[in-house]
Structure 1
């Protein structure tokens, strides 16, 4: 089945101009076409249509993923009363008990938190723990690592060696800097929709404004 994802503004990446009233047609796990919504709707009148507010972009890449999953604890919602809702780091991890009793659940919740920020890919060195990479792939994320394919440009990490950040847009000069790959007909259908009116507003609001994440054509996060 073909699905058209439409928004007020499409940022296709790859140096292409933004498309007001843009859309992406997705068939199974790949991008069938993208451009103005009217053109896609006319070409595919039987397609299911999903409309998202604000800005639609390719999925984002998380370059701090391994550090986030190893150095942070993402609390279970049932622990909010005792631990709060924000991730725990540093010495606070010592209060959690043996690592093997909480690591798996934290990783699962951390990956979901990344999906809530429009992330569809992460970068990892060959030395990254295999269990983390397996969990990431099971969540629908693509794992990128050196050497990076030329079709998937990966600029320097926004964390610049400091604390890891979960927002792929933090420190980015443009949304394109945080894209895992520009849209390509026939490419994997990784998309993110954000409740922001334009690129400047999206950069100011950050990826926490994500309302939907699509990985390989599958809706893996929906905020509304």
Structure 2
């Protein structure tokens, strides 16, 4: 099935200018075309349209894979009264009895929180099998990291980084055979507002044509 994802503004992720009322055409798992919504809709009248508020960008890369998924515990909502809702690290983490099962559940929650920030890949070596499994099951990519990133680990890949620094791969100019349909949408009016408000404004994340996060 063909689906057009349209937004108020499309940011290709490279030197091309942002495109007002831009859209991507998705064919199954692949990106079939990128361009003005009107042009794509006219060329593919049978395609379903999903219209999103704000800015559509390529998926983002978070550089803190091990720090967020293997060196932090993401509490279960049922543990909020005792552990709170934020990731636990350091002494707070050391006080928990962590098993492989618990690491896997934590990683799944962490992955969902990353997807809710438009993240489609993490950087860094992951060694815990339960964590690797959670990442791969979500369709998230893993990249090598040649230097440790500066600053404390954060779920927001735009904290201290520009949008273009955080983008994993730009959208191809006209779509390309075999290119995965992977992108995110943020409920902000433009790039400046996205930089100011951060990736927590994400309303949708699509990985290989699959809607893996939608803000309710």
**Does the TM-score normalized on the shorter chain lie above 0.5?**
yes
Decide which of 159, 169, 178 is 2:166's aligned counterpart. 178
1:45-194 pair list within 5 angstroms: 45-100=45-100, 102-125=102-125, 128-129=126-127, 131=129, 132-145=131-144, 159-160=149-150, 162-173=151-162, 175-184=163-172, 185-186=175-176, 187-194=179-186
Which digits, 9 at most, give the CA deviation of each residue in 1:83-111, with x for residues without a partner?
11111111111332244452111111111
CA distance in 2, matches of 1:107, 1:57: 25
Which digits, 9 at most, give the CA deviation of each residue in 1:42-84, with x for residues without a partner?
0111101111110000100111112211111101011111111
- Which stretches of structure 1, 4 residues or longer, exceed 6 Å deviation after superposition? none
- How large is the Cα RMSD of the aligned pairs? 1.7
Alignment of 1:223 onto 2:215: yes
Assess if the C-alpha contact under 8 Å between 1:10 and 1:20 holds in 2.
yes
Q: Which runs of 5+ in 1 are unaligned?
A: 148-155
Count of aligned pairs between the two proteins: 211
CA distance in 2, matches of 1:35, 1:130: 41
Q: TM-score, normalised by structure 1?
A: 0.89
Q: Which runs of 5+ in 2 are unaligned?
A: none
Which digits, 9 at most, give the CA deviation of each residue in 1:136-191, with x for residues without a partner?
111111222269xxxxxxxx77x41x321111111113x12111100021211111
Assess if the C-alpha contact under 8 Å between 1:133 and 1:143 holds in 2.
no
